[in-house]
Amino acid sequence: MLHMAARTGRQFQRYNKDHRLVVGCIPYRYKKGREEEDELEVLVISSKKSQAMMFPKGGWEVDESVEEAASRESLEEAGVLGNIQCELGKWVFKSKSGELYHEGHMFPLLVTQQLDLWPEQTARRRQWMSVAEAKAACEQWWMKEALDILVNRLILKRGI
């Protein structure tokens, strides 16, 4: 069942010592269903507070697995559903304010469905981009590293 309202508040957020735990996805697809590197596209979204582009991510809550949280964030922020794959890694980074640290977990999400209506559609823009375009547009270093890991994993999977 799809929930068409985004979760709000931080009362159910997970923490690891003093780090807030966040999870996200790199939604991806292949143009025309072809698994070639130049046909790979990733979905980026705008921040709610600025025009900065990023991958969907948000808080991991106590009533969900890390995969469920990653999938939920992709639905809420980007309006996509798909198959969560093996975790890309874990990064510790400073919050936007620079006062707190977050521990971010990122997953690939092979998109199977893009919704016309989703919870944060009025607050965000979404855009499919090539890997090179996404690396240039995304301002967060740890998300760029996660994208590099995804691309390398997909290349190895194809045996190139």
Predicted confidence (pLDDT) at residue 145 exceeds the cutoff of 80: yes
As a whole number of angstroms, the distance between CA 35 and CA 20 comes to 36
- pLDDT tens-digit profile of 23-46? 999 999 998 755 555 589 999 999
Chain segment 63-105, per-residue pLDDT in tens: 999 999 999 999 999 999 999 999 999 999 887 766 788 999 9
pLDDT greater than 80 at residue 18: no
Span 15-158: which CATH code? 3.90.79.10
DSSP string, 52-82: -EE--EEEPBTTS-HHHHHHHHHHHHH-EEE
Where do the domains of the chain lie? 15-158
Residues 6+ apart with CB under 8 A from 130: 38, 40, 41, 42
**What pTM was computed for the model?**
0.85
